[in-house]
Amino acid sequence: MTAVSIRLARPEDAAAVAALFRQLGYPSTADEVRERLLEHGGDTVRALVAEHEGKVAGIIVVNLIAPLHVADRWALVSALATNEAIRGAGIGAALLGEAERFAREQGCSRIELSSSESRTRAHAFYVQNGFGEVRKRFVKQM
């Protein structure tokens, strides 16, 4: 595989990022993603894209949280998507590695993520990259 470079997501990446989110079943438009990228440029959210052969091929969004009930900071991956045409080429692993590096740099003691039950291939990928399934997750739609 050609080298992958990872950088901060920029508003001009919005169309490519929206397409990646749609591949996962999250309806997103370029305008919506552009707006979110502009409003999430702070210290607690980091959106990183992977470029492969000059095109955006993946994105990871890392949220830093400081729970009141523990002294440690945590990192939460709220999105990880790679282009389905080249999945398995190491792009997701590179993005996860960069997210972990960022989380450690920010003093986080853990990094966590969730994944739909139907994404068994993703589950195997996360386990292969050092993640373990810990507990159930409960969600209420609002």
Q: How confident is the model at residue 72 (pLDDT cuts 50, 70, 90)?
A: confident
Q: Where are the beta strands (DSSP E) in 55-137?
A: 55-65, 73-82, 108-113
Percent of the chain scored above 90 by pLDDT? 51
| Tokens at 101, concatenated | 């590096």
Mean pLDDT of 65-89: 89
Give the CATH number of domain 4-128; options: 1.20.1260.10, 3.40.630.30, 3.20.20.300, 3.20.190.10.
3.40.630.30
* Predicted confidence band of residue 132 (pLDDT cuts 50, 70, 90): confident
pLDDT bucket at 46, cuts 50 / 70 / 90:
very high
- Domain coordinates of the chain in residue numbers? 4-128
For residue 60 the two structure tokens come to 């990871």
| pLDDT at residue 71 in the model | 81
Q: Which helix (H) or strand (E) holds 50?
A: strand 45-52
